[in-house]
Structure 1
């Protein structure tokens, strides 16, 4: 019988509580520790899933892997503490609060040859998983990720929303972008100073591929749409509903033969989803595979930095970025 993976989870907030549920429900893992400095919140989540609450990360003797869903500013010290004890790590996005610190963390995981994952959850969306089995040679990607304003998230949409579709574009194009352009909009007075509410981004890829990515928190409803264009078909994904439709244009002409109106023939396919598994559960299962050595840890580590590089370039368009860079030097 294979031993169950003993997991320590850092963070009992909105995302942390979801991770706690998924870990506790796994038939391959046990939620051993729930770490959160807020005793009332931490104890409540720990008790719900029969884990032990701790106020801070302990020595990891007896723990096989760690999941971090804490505030972004805490990621760097937590990650380095976990990696220094040679434990595999799944950390929510972004990996750290700067590209420099993200590189340091990834370098440490590489040096130690440790399984390391970032919570780029849309990779495990059933519609995305299915689309990747259908793809030939994508040449143009458009995505829209719009949401109503959330008071609890005051930092910019680049790290909160845009990063998911940047990651998907890189994944689907199967290469890093060679050029990044972006325009940012600042509108909501409740946002942190310099935090963008809208990010319109254009990625250019070697060979001419283009991705147009729109992220906004000015919406009145959630939109999670992704369109993938190939030479002879269009693959449309609704990431919220987790469904996929494929279109193949056949012909077009006037509706009546005299130019009045329009008629088009299009083949529409609705493929069966390759999986129906909840993305967070699928992500954790992949993490367990990395820990067990049945998935390629090196490939996983290498996939993390490219979307972080793009987002860092996007937020360099913030009006305060040049001042911050100058102050850092």
Structure 2
């Protein structure tokens, strides 16, 4: 019988509890222990023991660890895990700035460890289906990628604004869905609720092939919206990522013998198709992919270097909001091939919850 992988979890806040739920029932994995100095404040009734420090957690001889602490603590916890020889799945955003993100990527790369970042939208079934259809050329030439990510402020977020907490989802998924890097951005941001930093941002960008991108992100809307729209010469694909739905709006075909009208014709409404696609909880898919990567399978994980590129894009957005100009994301070093860990060691950091 194959031995179960022993997983640890650092942080038992809002996201940590979701990770604990998945890890408690993930085939091939046992949740060995959880580290959080506050303990189980919500009485979740988890079967795994809860300890106060990362040192205590590492005494459980982990095969890998999930990091769900505030963004500012990703570096101390992640670097300690890299030093200890423990592969890690780290919540997004990877770090509060690009140098820290690169330091984390370099640490795990130098240690020969598998590591990933929880950009969960890459596991959304609607975006998976959109990506496949764009790759097959369903829309022809792509013109625009538009996202709207709006809703009430989540009290759990206290150390970053909407650019790092929410817009990083869209900056990452747009590049992933299209397969094209982001080359420039301009943006406007405000803080209307009195919370610092920004709670609303509007971003306009350009991909390397000339595709225009736009992202509207805020914590000011009483209704929650999660939409991605790809528009091309043959129509639009709309992904509702809250529900995992994908709808195709085809350009209609209308012939005319009126020469004046033929000089400039826009598109007209054609067929509308809601696709029937298999739906699995994105967080479960994310955990399955990382588990399989740990066991040596070739599965799609979001590498730390990819996540660092998203941090560079987020920083470019913030620069653009300050300067009122167009900004170019800072280039990150290409990743080296990952290797498997040889040994586990111990190190300790006081964790907290995310």
What TM-score bracket applies, with the shorter chain setting the length?
Answer: 0.7 to 0.9
Out of 198, 209, 213, the position equivalent to 2:215 is 213
**1:251 Cα deviation from its structure 2 partner:** 2.9
Higher helix fraction: Structure 1 or Structure 2?
1
Out of 164, 175, 181, the position equivalent to 1:176 is 181
Tell me the TM-score normalised to structure 2 length.
Answer: 0.81
Once the two structures are superposed, the pairs formed by residues 229-268 of structure 1 within 5 Å of their partners are 229-252=231-254, 264-268=268-272
Residue segments in structure 1 that go unaligned for 5+ positions in a row = 321-329
Residue segments in structure 2 that go unaligned for 5+ positions in a row = 262-266, 324-354
- CA distance change for structure 1 residues 49 and 40 in 2, over 3 Å: closer, same or farther? closer
Structure-1 residue corresponding to 2:291? 288
Bigger shift: residues 300-309 or 21-30 = 300-309
Out of 22, 47, 52, the position equivalent to 1:50 is 47
**Structure with the larger RCO, 1 or 2 (CA within 8 Å, 6+ apart):** 2
Query: Aligned equivalents of 1:221 and 1:298: distance in 2?
Result: 31
1:251 is paired with a residue of what secondary structure? coil
2:220 is paired with a residue of what secondary structure? coil
Structure-2 residue corresponding to 1:29? 29
**1:264 Cα deviation from its structure 2 partner:** 4.7
Deviations 1:199-246 (A, max 9, x none): 111121122111111101111200111101122121001111210101
Structure-1 residue corresponding to 2:3? 3
1:279 aligns with 2:282: yes
**1:253 Cα deviation from its structure 2 partner:** 8.5
Query: Aligned equivalents of 1:92 and 1:105: distance in 2?
Result: 13
Structure-1 residue corresponding to 2:109? 110
How many residue pairs were aligned?
A: 307
Query: Aligned equivalents of 2:177 and 2:156: distance in 1?
Result: 31
Q: Is the 8 A contact 2:237 2:248 kept in 1?
A: yes
Query: Aligned equivalents of 1:125 and 1:162: distance in 2?
Result: 16
- CA distance change for structure 1 residues 318 and 200 in 2, over 3 Å: closer, same or farther? closer
Structure-1 residue corresponding to 2:41? 41
Once the two structures are superposed, the pairs formed by residues 52-91 of structure 1 within 5 Å of their partners are 52-58=49-55, 59=58, 62-91=61-90
Query: Aligned equivalents of 1:13 and 1:252: distance in 2?
Result: 55
Out of 308, 311, 318, the position equivalent to 2:311 is 308
2:186 is paired with a residue of what secondary structure? strand
Query: Aligned equivalents of 1:17 and 1:164: distance in 2?
Result: 20
2:229 is paired with a residue of what secondary structure? strand
Q: Is the 8 A contact 1:75 1:95 kept in 2?
A: yes
Structure-1 residue corresponding to 2:120? 121
Q: Is the 8 A contact 2:188 2:321 kept in 1?
A: no
**1:303 Cα deviation from its structure 2 partner:** 2.3
- CA distance change for structure 1 residues 265 and 13 in 2, over 3 Å: closer, same or farther? closer
Once the two structures are superposed, the pairs formed by residues 86-165 of structure 1 within 5 Å of their partners are 86-135=85-134, 136=137, 138-154=142-158, 155-165=160-170
- CA distance change for structure 1 residues 115 and 139 in 2, over 3 Å: closer, same or farther? farther
Query: Aligned equivalents of 1:90 and 1:34: distance in 2?
Result: 14
Structure-2 residue corresponding to 1:18? 18
Q: Is the 8 A contact 2:14 2:156 kept in 1?
A: no
**1:319 Cα deviation from its structure 2 partner:** 5.3
2:253 is paired with a residue of what secondary structure? strand
Structure-2 residue corresponding to 1:323? none
Deviations 1:7-59 (A, max 9, x none): 010011111000000000111111101100113528x44xx231111101123
- CA distance change for structure 1 residues 215 and 31 in 2, over 3 Å: closer, same or farther? same
Q: Is the 8 A contact 1:170 1:307 kept in 2?
A: no
